Chain A
Amino acid sequence: MKLSRYSILILLLLPLTTAAIAQERGESLALPSHGMGTAAAWAADDLNHDSDSVLLLNEIYRKRIERYNRFWHGLIPSQVKLQYAGSIGLLSAGMGWHYGKQRRIWETDLMFGFLPAYDTRTSKLTMTIKQGYIPFRITLHGNWQFEPLSCGLFFNTVFGEEFWSRQPSKYPKRYYGFSTSVRSNVFVGERFRYQIPMQKRRRISSISLYYELSTNDLYLVSAIPNSYLKLGDILSLCFGIKYDFF
């Protein structure tokens, strides 16, 4: 149930990001038919055997196939992340997409985290959807760059039978007016980015090291009316490394 609800969210989110990515990549990539999957190559092959009139008619088909390929090409993850702590697990890993008109200032990530049992019954798996905004990039020295601000939102869900996203039906209405499994978080952070020189590149184009401070909905509603809780009580720090493929 929980998984299906999340997959709907992803399905809604992905076309938006892919559309943006596809548009961006479409400008820089000349869509080679062999690289774009067999469908386009096959279609082109097919067209060569037909008469000229059919070829003209099928320009529409060729364009559609190209557009179709460009759309799915946008779905190829452009980055992977490995993160320590940050309220989404002890260690989390995930893939993501960066996009933006001129610079890559938007990011969407899908991450999975592992949480050991500690003093609870079982270890747990968590899933996170993260939306980031990275408006500035300053070149520090050589290939090193500094991104003084990254901020955004992430939604985390923890899997396990003891958690629910909406209160079970046995409870009266609004008995527990919140979700135990889904946390909404906000974060701010900074990054250092190293762009690998072209001649040294093997698989990735750049590496970023980042830290972020985040807090969630339940901590905020706890801290706001209580002077007992200080900012340090509700903040969560994480460290991570990000690899950009392109």
Chain B
Amino acid sequence: MRNFVTMKRVPYPLHPRFLLAILFICIGVTSCDLIEYHPYDGRLDGARHLTQENIRKIEALCADKDTIRFAEISDTQRWYDDTEDLIKAINQRGDIDFVIHCGDHTDFGLTKEFLWMRNIYQKLSMPYVCLIGNHDCLGTGEDVYQQLYGDVNFSFDAGFVHFLCLNTNAFEYDYSIAVPDFEYIKTDLHNLCPNAVQTVVAMHAKPGSEQFNNNVLDYFEYSLNQFPNLKFCICGHNHHTTIEYPFEGGVPYYQCACAKERTYLVFTITRDTYTYEAVKI
């Protein structure tokens, strides 16, 4: 008899009420951070479409400036602590107008890696733009990059300087789409603002690198030279700070080391000249 009463009181797991309760618990914890559907699930929270938002800020901030000072960081993948320190160091200077990240935010292209890194960049006190690196193309990485930041090719004008940011990770695309996208470069040149009298080009992998489509080296150089007063190019990818001249008689390519080297580059551009500085923190 006692047993019978006990059985009645204990909820039977197949009872609809019981299943409904489980459903509610599941819905309740969905908002919780511990719920993950897959490392490549592409479920995002927080700030998105950051490239457009930050470009607006940069263009407003630098509109009337005669001296543009920006910092470059690159290849921060899986070095979260070092990246945090770099961001802190750049913030503390107080003289940087904006920051360009030359790609490789993630090591494996995982969704959470993108979010962890974005949360660090969001601590920057100045606007920033992020390029796509070859590691960011892995798995669903490119889709996530486009949601978080925006198009893989973009450009903006910081005062009198035109910044052209290009996806050069041709190796990741098996030549199925145009990398670098000359159609984009042509359109960008066509729509160039007359105030932009100097040009800086940013990319992840520089010409000659195994990621670059080296079949189009000469045309790439030719295309960039069409831009007014091309000053220099910045890049990342090789994890070392270097200055190289991939094209004879061409502009220098400044490469920023990875975050592990705890190095960032600072460029100061005036109407007459520019200076370059590598800062190790």
Seen from chain A, the residues whose Cβ lies within 8 Å of a Cβ on chain B are: 84-90, 113, 115-121, 124, 126, 141-144, 156, 158, 162-163, 170-172, 176, 178, 180, 183, 194, 197, 207, 209, 213, 216, 218-219, 221-222, 225-229, 232-233, 235-237, 239, 241
Contact = CB atoms under 8 A, between A and B. Distances in A.
B25 interface: yes
B38 A124 contact: yes
Contact of B39 (A141, A183, A233): A183
A144 B145 CA distance: 48
B174 interface: yes
B109 A180 contact: yes
21 contacts: A86-B36, A87-B39, A89-B37, A113-B38, A115-B38, A116-B37, A117-B42, A118-B44, A119-B143, A120-B41, A120-B42, A142-B3, A176-B138, A178-B108, A209-B22, A218-B107, A222-B107, A226-B78, A226-B81, A228-B116, A229-B80
A170 B116 CA distance: 30
Contacts of B80: 222, 226, 228-229
Nearest to A238: B35
Contacts of B177: none
Interface stretch (B26-34, B66-74, B188-196, B271-279): B26-34
B6 A163 contact: no
Given A121-B140, A156-B38, 9 more contacts: A117-B42, A118-B42, A142-B6, A171-B171, A197-B7, A218-B108, A221-B78, A222-B113, A225-B81
A136 to B, nearest CB: 21
Contacts of A209: 13, 22
B32 A227 contact: no
B143 A233 contact: no
Of listed B12, B41, B110, residue having the most chain A CB within 10 A: B41
Nearest to B146: A119
B108 A180 contact: yes
A155 to B, nearest CB: 13
Interface string B125-164: 0000000000100111001100100000000000000000
Of listed B7, B13, B44, B143, residue having the most chain A CB within 10 A: B13
Contacts of A176: 135, 138
B210 A237 contact: no
B39 A241 contact: no
Interface string B250-261: 000000000000
B197 interface: no
B43 interface: yes
B36 A85 contact: yes
Nearest to B144: A119
Contacts of B108: 178, 180, 218
Contacts of A86: 36
Contact of A90 (B7, B14, B37, B120): B37
Nearest to A124: B38
Contact of B140 (A113, A120, A218): A120
Of listed A118, A178, A233, A239, residue having the most chain B CB within 10 A: A118
A228 to B, nearest CB: 4
Nearest to A84: B26
Nearest to A241: B22
B34 to A, nearest CB: 4
Contacts of B29: 237, 239
B34 A213 contact: yes
Contacts of B144: 119-120
Interface string B95-120: 00000000000011110110010001
B89 to A, nearest CB: 15
Interface in B55-96: 78-81, 84
B40 interface: yes
Nearest to B37: A90
Contact of B41 (A115, A163, A207, A218): A115
B10 interface: yes
B138 A180 contact: yes
A143 B12 CA distance: 10
B42 A119 contact: yes
